[in-house]
Chain A
Amino acid sequence: MENQEIKVQVNHLTKRFGDLLVLDDVSFNIKKGEFVCIVGPTGCGKTTFLNLLTRLIEPTEGEILIDGEPADPKKHSISFVFQEPSAFPWLTAQQNIEYGLKIKKRPAEEIAAQTEKIISLLGLEKYRHAYPHEMSVSMEQRVVIGRAFALNPDLLLMDEPYGQMDIKMRYYLEDEVVRLWKATGSTVLFITHNLEEATYLAERVLVLTNKPAKIKANIEVDLPRPRKVSDPEFIRIRKEITEMIKWW
């Protein structure tokens, strides 16, 4: 892991809304192709943090570098998966997956190839022409996740994408997101409240403190995949994170 190049550098990121300090001097790096999970208490400034990363809002201090350059929406691509499914209802599954590629005006062959790859990774061949209203919530969310991965973004941010799913569906989708991540080599920052989910998915877990958010710990999860939630080592790491996050 150490010899991997750094993809995203977050330096001294601080955000104030008037007198309210939401994010306090947050610094961390994400390596190229790394899967990082962020966990933290509810209301710890997570949304602000994400909005800063997507450049929807500007930081008060600090900077975000991608490939060593200041993150620039025009140059870098940052994808985002919201908690609520956000597939466009007027597009089919396939058209939704193509959407980002088309907006970026990628060549037609690339759009076709990339879309096919994602559809087959998701196993959505039969449902490619289905509209979101014909899908379950979880299938719609899978299409949205496919849309985000299809673009091979420099950074893929996922904001509790499985927050609304039941436990069985979550296991299935967690395996799927790992499959997509491996197949596309994307760099993923995944936010969750679920510590088991973080331990299951991440190569590294960043633990945030209560507001104003700071990074409290940086925990490597060096377990082989597929991971087993009953593995003693898995349980040990999960407990370690739980101890850190005991904000109550």
Chain B
Amino acid sequence: MKKNRSQARDIMLSVISILLLVAVWFLVSGSRPDFFPTPMATVERFIRLIEKPIMGVSVFGHVLASLRRVMLALIASIILGIGIGLVMGWNKKVRAAINPILMALRPIPPIAWIPLIILMFGVDEFPKVLLVFIGSFFPIVMNTMSGVALVDDMYLKVGKIYKAKTWQMLRHVVFPAAMPTILAGIKIAISSGWMVVVAAEMLSSRSGLGFLINRGRDSYDVALIMVAMILIGVVGALLSAVFTLIERKMCGWMSKE
């Protein structure tokens, strides 16, 4: 009963704050609607976008195009990031060998890679996915590495006492123990990947939300820019919410502290 009530209160507070934001938007956009479209104009533009595709792709097609790039890159960074992170966390020598390279590469923002990648791979699909990969790989590999390196010694001892072989140790002790840290890394990777994909699409693309923003700029269609930006925000939030559900499902054993 009490829980339900506090839940209802939280939902109400969220609705109120969103309504307030829209109200502010109304006030601000009222003076120069050509410069800064009103919420109504933006909604109208969204409906028009659904009815009239851009570049032969519907608005949902553009969302899916961006999502597809992020997913491909994420799959690659999850596989490589967890694999390399696991070995680095487990083996001190490998860590000593690879860590300096990662430390040097990690601070380079994905956007700084753009010229190099365009020169090397052109402006096809692959370079965009590669950029997203660069944005999502580091959080996963770093979190996996530290999660594995910091597994409680007690659990390792228990594994040793039961004579777990190395792969059993990794599979049944190290991996589950590091899972919460790894999932936290993937969560960061998703939001970082979603940011990078828009940047990559703004360079040169015929589909995707980043492309819609560019199209809006080129044709002075500010409402289209707003629509694309809002979609980026909404889809990004949904991605994060879906992943939180997955996280809870996979790590239900964690105490809710």
Residues of chain A whose beta carbon lies under 8 Å from any beta carbon of chain B = 54, 56, 73-74, 77-80, 82, 84, 86, 88-92, 99-100, 102-104, 131-133, 151
Q: B251 contacts which chain A residues (CB < 8 A)?
A: 90
10 more A-B contacts (CB under 8 A) besides A56-B160, A88-B173? A78-B161, A86-B154, A86-B155, A88-B155, A89-B253, A89-B254, A90-B251, A100-B162, A103-B172, A104-B162
- The answer, yes or no, to whether B5 is at the interface (CB within 8 Å) is no
With A and B bound together, what is the CA distance between A92 and B253 in angstroms?
Answer: 8
Complex A-B: 15 CB contacts under 8 Å: A74-B163, A86-B158, A88-B155, A88-B177, A89-B254, A89-B255, A90-B251, A91-B176, A99-B172, A103-B159, A103-B164, A103-B168, A103-B172, A131-B253, A133-B254
Q: Contact string, B146-176, partner A, CB cutoff 8 A, digits 1/0?
A: 0000000011011111111000100011001
- The answer, yes or no, to whether B179 is at the interface (CB within 8 Å) is yes
With A and B bound together, what is the CA distance between A73 and B179 in angstroms?
Answer: 29
B162–A99 CB distance below 8 A: yes
Q: Would you list the 8 A-B pairs with minimal beta carbon distance, nearest first?
A: A133-B255, A90-B176, A131-B253, A80-B161, A90-B253, A100-B162, A103-B162, A86-B154
Q: How many A-B residue pairs have CB under 8 A?
A: 55
With A and B bound together, what is the CA distance between A131 and B176 in angstroms?
Answer: 14
Q: Contact string, B86-104, partner A, CB cutoff 8 A, digits 1/0?
A: 0000000000000000000
A54–B253 CB distance below 8 A: no
Q: Contact string, B76-115, partner A, CB cutoff 8 A, digits 1/0?
A: 0000000000000000000000000000000000000000
Q: B163 contacts which chain A residues (CB < 8 A)?
A: 73-74, 77, 103-104
Residue on A nearest B168 in the bound complex, by CB:
A103
B176–A88 CB distance below 8 A: yes
Q: B253 contacts which chain A residues (CB < 8 A)?
A: 89-92, 131-133
| CB proximity of B44 to chain A, nearest CB, Å | 51
Q: A131 contacts which chain B residues (CB < 8 A)?
A: 252-253
A82–B154 CB distance below 8 A: yes
Which of A103, A131, A132 is most buried by chain B, counting CB atoms within 10 A of its CB? A103
With A and B bound together, what is the CA distance between A91 and B155 in angstroms?
Answer: 12
Residue on B nearest A148 in the bound complex, by CB:
B161
With A and B bound together, what is the CA distance between A86 and B152 in angstroms?
Answer: 10
With A and B bound together, what is the CA distance between A56 and B176 in angstroms?
Answer: 23
B179–A88 CB distance below 8 A: no
Residue on A nearest B158 in the bound complex, by CB:
A86
B154–A84 CB distance below 8 A: yes
| CB proximity of B33 to chain A, nearest CB, Å | 55
| CB proximity of A47 to chain B, nearest CB, Å | 12
| CB proximity of A81 to chain B, nearest CB, Å | 9
Q: B154 contacts which chain A residues (CB < 8 A)?
A: 82, 84, 86
Q: A74 contacts which chain B residues (CB < 8 A)?
A: 163
Residue on A nearest B250 in the bound complex, by CB:
A90
Q: A56 contacts which chain B residues (CB < 8 A)?
A: 157, 160
With A82-B154, A103-B168, A133-B254 known as contacts, the answer to whether A54 contacts B176 (CB < 8 A) is: no
With A and B bound together, what is the CA distance between A100 and B176 in angstroms?
Answer: 16
Q: B159 contacts which chain A residues (CB < 8 A)?
A: 103
Q: A77 contacts which chain B residues (CB < 8 A)?
A: 163
| CB proximity of A217 to chain B, nearest CB, Å | 29
With A and B bound together, what is the CA distance between A103 and B251 in angstroms?
Answer: 22
Which of B155, B162, B168, B173 is most buried by chain A, counting CB atoms within 10 A of its CB? B162
Q: A89 contacts which chain B residues (CB < 8 A)?
A: 253-255
Q: Name the interface residues of B214-257: CB closer than 8 Å to any CB of A.
A: 251-255
Q: B157 contacts which chain A residues (CB < 8 A)?
A: 56, 80, 82, 86
